[in-house]
């Protein structure tokens, strides 16, 4: 029996556009990827990019639904999709879908989630677009996480998402990846390292983690400059200084999240292998072992949302 | 009685070169300033810059001593002057002076100070070049601070310097100014604000301070993104978002320095008026009132070092 195409699924973010033709089990029949993130598109030509990536599938299977998640639904994207409120279950995301005509058939966009500020507990507002789909995908793949879990998605903006009873109940954003990038490229901490060949060093990364831990409640405000001063004092090789900086920043993120917690719910890392590995090493340093990483869960999440919304029939899955 | 020139004094830092002709009381006879900081000099032509700023004085008064402080004595400066160790009194700085021939007469450079790391208390190494001269100048102007004081020098790298019995006993560096600049210029937090006219807002600055205070031991790792999310949630005008960012960063610096302190020694702010005003407002928010600011104290510090080193006679001062 040949596998039938059922859904065109896409993850269209800030830096890339990936699309898949999925069969009636949600498995991949064909894959395409282009570096056409919403900030990289020549002339902001969303329609042209979509035609080039999905046009062939559209011609062959004109009736297929198409579903995309990510920054494509933001104000700077193709079509702004209002956020749904937190807490959010798959049903709320399905209700918030927005469909429009692309010129290459209809396209449905997944909404992001907004957590509103809460005066009583001084919660700050937070937003995500794309990560909600990763979370639903992870819960599809590991149903045991639905009761209660903390899902961590390292990256430019690392999201820490709390799940209870299959719903996203709250989340925070840590700009650790962006902080690292701007300090490496534009600060005095990165300048000397840019003039040499940077070397991987788990020891220097670990030193950074340890210093962040030892800073305790003071945080790393007064320790960040040690990326420079330890090089000047001969305690740190300039080739390893960015590893040390990475340790300081990730260490501060973990310290911040874990402070005041007596226990931690089951924890899952989702995303890029090498970054997840860094977070695993760091979590172990903070006494949290046995954290399992999961590669990209976007496809499973898109399939789940398409299903909940009735875009694909009940035959699959 | 006409005032006699006694010293050519200079503060030669990263972004500017300022020089003064001082009389036998250490008062200014003539001033010159050029944007010839060590990172701005065309072709790194230190000798040419010095000739153009001090050559006229040299011709008129060939026997005058010349003394300069700041990054000119760093590895990337004209002549590297080894750091003296912390704790340091004026005598140690005088002993660490380095004189060399510039082609436009001799020039003496003030050493910076290095604080070594201390395994027992996990102190990180720290370095300063230029601020040590500001500190000595402040102690000259306000001798009451010599017993015990905390001197704060806001800027790209804010230094918090503890003084006891007239000596610099320890110090820390907070990269708050540089963090603000790189986040404003190169991060998602600054991008929207760069497209509008930024407006001064003491209220938004205060909000940032309050959020940093409320973060407590968690620090601002999870709050930094609120510069963006509060704009998206309609809680913060994009025109005020950089003020809010400034409040978050300065608030985190103060929280970090003050955490675990039962009391604070007499505190003095030294430096640029508008930045000192920002820190005064912030300190008041943390319950520390009546902090007096002091404008640039470099000239008084250079005079004091010249005196201690015997470069100028005892007649003055």
> In B87-123, which positions are buried (b, 16+ CB within 10 angstroms) versus exposed (e)?
bbbbebbbebbeeeebebbebbbbbbbbbeeeeeeee
Residue among B115, B36, B31 nearest B70 (CA): B36
Average pLDDT value for residue range B231-253: 97
Residue A60 backbone phi and psi in degrees, to 5: -75, -40
Same domain? For B64 and B142 the reply is: yes
Contact criterion met (CB < 8 Å) for A187 and B178? yes
Same domain? For B31 and B78 the reply is: yes
Which B-chain residues 69-108 have CB contacts (< 8 A) with chain A?
A: none
DSSP per residue over A178-212, as a string?
HHHHHHHHHSTTTHHHHTS-----HHHHHHHHHHH
Among chain B residues, the shortest Cα distance to A186 is held by B182
Q: What is the pLDDT of residue B2?
A: 73
Among candidates B125, B175, B219 on the partner chain, residue whose Cβ is nearest the Cβ of A252: B219
Same domain? For A162 and A249 the reply is: no
In what order do the strands lie in the sheet containing A126-128?
A: A84-85, A113-115, A126-128
Contact criterion met (CB < 8 Å) for B211 and A124? yes
- Where residue A42 falls (left for φ over 0; alpha for ψ -120 to 50; beta otherwise) is beta
Tell whether A196 lies on the interface with B, counting CB pairs under 8 A: no
Q: What percent of chain A has pLDDT over 70?
A: 97
Rg (CA), chain A: 21
Banded pLDDT at A310 (limits 50, 70, 90): very high
Q: What is the pLDDT of residue B290?
A: 80
Does a structural domain hold residue A80? Answer: yes
**Matching residue, tokens 């983690």:** A209
- Taking the C-alpha atoms of residue A7 and residue B66, their distance in angstroms, rounded to an integer, is 78
pLDDT tens profile A101-137? 999 999 999 999 999 987 555 589 999 999 999 999 9
Does the pLDDT value for residue A315 go beyond 60?
no
Contact criterion met (CB < 8 Å) for A219 and B252? yes
- Taking the C-alpha atoms of residue B180 and residue B197, their distance in angstroms, rounded to an integer, is 17
- Taking the C-alpha atoms of residue A123 and residue B111, their distance in angstroms, rounded to an integer, is 48
Among candidates A224, A256, A260 on the partner chain, residue whose Cβ is nearest the Cβ of B222: A256
Does the pLDDT value for residue B187 go beyond 60?
yes
Same domain? For A49 and A166 the reply is: yes
Chain B residues with beta carbon closer than 8 angstroms to that of A224: 174-175, 179
Half-sphere exposure of B38 (CA within 13 A, CB side): 18
Same domain? For A113 and A202 the reply is: no
- CATH code, B180: 3.30.420.310
Contact criterion met (CB < 8 Å) for A235 and B260? no
Same domain? For A222 and A251 the reply is: yes
Among candidates A126, A182, A229 on the partner chain, residue whose Cβ is nearest the Cβ of B183: A182
Does a structural domain hold residue A314? Answer: no
Same domain? For B156 and B220 the reply is: no
Q: ipTM value of the model?
A: 0.93
Which A-chain residues 285-304 have CB contacts (< 8 A) with chain B?
A: none
Contact criterion met (CB < 8 Å) for B233 and A125? yes
Contact criterion met (CB < 8 Å) for A124 and B182? no
Strands (E), chain B: 5-12, 17-23, 28-34, 66-69, 84-85, 98-101, 106-109, 113-115, 126-128, 148-153, 158-164, 167-174, 267-270, 292-294
Does a structural domain hold residue A313? Answer: no
- Where residue B46 falls (left for φ over 0; alpha for ψ -120 to 50; beta otherwise) is alpha
Banded pLDDT at B1 (limits 50, 70, 90): low
Is-contact A125 B233, C-beta < 8 A? Answer: yes
Contact criterion met (CB < 8 Å) for A257 and B221? yes
Banded pLDDT at A96 (limits 50, 70, 90): very high
Does a structural domain hold residue B202? Answer: yes
Tell whether B213 lies on the interface with A, counting CB pairs under 8 A: no
Average pLDDT value for residue range B192-213: 93
A183-197, A296-310, B158-172, B174-188: which range is least confident on average?
A: A183-197
Shortest Cα distance, chain B CAs vs residue A144, angstroms: 27
Does a structural domain hold residue A317? Answer: no
Same domain? For A166 and A179 the reply is: no
Q: How is residue B200 written in tokens? A: 């001064």
Contact criterion met (CB < 8 Å) for B235 and A125? yes
Q: What is the pLDDT of residue B262?
A: 83
Contact criterion met (CB < 8 Å) for A126 and B225? yes
- CATH code, B118: 3.30.420.300
pLDDT tens profile A145-162? 999 999 999 999 999 999
Give chain B's mean pLDDT.
Answer: 93
- Taking the C-alpha atoms of residue B294 and residue A217, their distance in angstroms, rounded to an integer, is 30
Q: What is the pLDDT of residue B314?
A: 59
Same domain? For A159 and A39 the reply is: yes
Is-contact A67 A9, C-beta < 8 A? Answer: yes
Residue A10: which H helix or E strand, with range? strand A5-12
Residue among A150, A262, A176, A152 nearest B222 (CA): A176
Structural domain for B213, as ranges: 175-286
Average pLDDT value for residue range A54-67: 96
Does a structural domain hold residue B315? Answer: no
Give chain A's mean pLDDT.
Answer: 93
Count of domains for chain B? 2
Average pLDDT value for residue range B260-274: 90
Same domain? For B130 and B210 the reply is: no
Does the pLDDT value for residue B316 go beyond 60?
no
Residue A170: which H helix or E strand, with range? strand A167-174
In what order do the strands lie in the sheet containing B292-294?
A: B167-174, B158-164, B148-153, B267-270, B292-294
pLDDT tens profile B89-131? 999 999 999 999 999 999 999 999 999 987 655 589 999 999 9
Residue A9 β-bridge partners: A20, A67
pLDDT tens profile B35-87? 999 988 878 899 999 999 999 999 999 999 999 999 999 999 999 999 999 99
Is-contact B304 B137, C-beta < 8 A? Answer: yes
> In B174-210, which positions are buried (b, 16+ CB within 10 angstroms) versus exposed (e)?
bbbbbbbbbbbebbbbbebbeeeeeeebeebbbbbbe
Shortest Cα distance, chain A CAs vs residue B309, angstroms: 27
Q: How is residue A300 written in tokens? A: 């499973």
Same domain? For B128 and B267 the reply is: no
Packing angle, helices B273-285 and B241-258, rounded to 10? 60
- Taking the C-alpha atoms of residue A60 and residue B303, their distance in angstroms, rounded to an integer, is 84
Helix, strand or coil for residue A139? helix
Does the pLDDT value for residue B317 go beyond 80?
no
- Give the torsion sign (CA, B128, B132, B133, B135): positive
- Taking the C-alpha atoms of residue A183 and residue B178, their distance in angstroms, rounded to an integer, is 9
Among chain B residues, the shortest Cα distance to A233 is held by B125
Chain B residues with beta carbon closer than 8 angstroms to that of A232: 114, 125, 127
Q: What is the pLDDT of residue B295?
A: 87
Same domain? For A162 and A197 the reply is: no
């Amino acid at each position: 029996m040949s596998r039938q195409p059922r859904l065109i699924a896409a993850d269209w973010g800030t830096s890339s556009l990936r699309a898949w033709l999925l069969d009636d089990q949600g498995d991949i029949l064909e894959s395409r990827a282009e570096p056409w993130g919403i900030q990289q598109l020549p002339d902001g030509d969303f329609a042209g990019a979509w035609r080039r990536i999905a046009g062939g599938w559209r011609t062959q299977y004109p009736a297929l639904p198409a579903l995309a998640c990510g920054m494509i639904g933001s104000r700077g994207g193709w079509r702004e999709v209002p956020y749904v409120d937190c807490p959010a279950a798959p049903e709320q995301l399905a209700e918030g879908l927005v469909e429009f005509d692309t010129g290459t058939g209809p396209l449905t966009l997944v909404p992001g989630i907004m957590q509103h500020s809460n005066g009583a507990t001084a919660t700050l507002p937070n937003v995500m677009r794309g990560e909600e789909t990763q979370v639903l995908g992870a819960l599809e793949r590991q149903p045991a996480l639905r009761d209660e879990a903390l899902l961590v998605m390292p990256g430019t903006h690392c999201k820490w998402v709390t799940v209870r009873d299959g719903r996203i109940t709250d989340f925070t954003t840590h700009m650790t990846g962006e902080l690292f990038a701007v300090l490496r490229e534009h600060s005095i901490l990165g300048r000397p390292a840019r003039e040499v060949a940077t070397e991987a060093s788990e020891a220097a990364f670990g030193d950074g983690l340890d210093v962040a831990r030892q800073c305790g409640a003071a945080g790393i405000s007064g320790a960040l400059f040690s990326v420079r001063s330890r090089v000047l004092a001969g305690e740190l090789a300039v080739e390893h200084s960015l590893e040390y900086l990475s340790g300081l920043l990730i260490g501060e993120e973990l310290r911040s999240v874990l402070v005041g917690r007596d226990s931690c719910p089951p924890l899952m890392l989702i995303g890029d292998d090498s970054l997840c590995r860094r977070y695993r090493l760091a979590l172990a340093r903070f006494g949290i072992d046995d954290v399992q990483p999961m590669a990209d869960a976007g496809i499973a999440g898109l399939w789940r949302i398409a299903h909940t919304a009735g875009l694909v029939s009940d035959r699959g899955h």
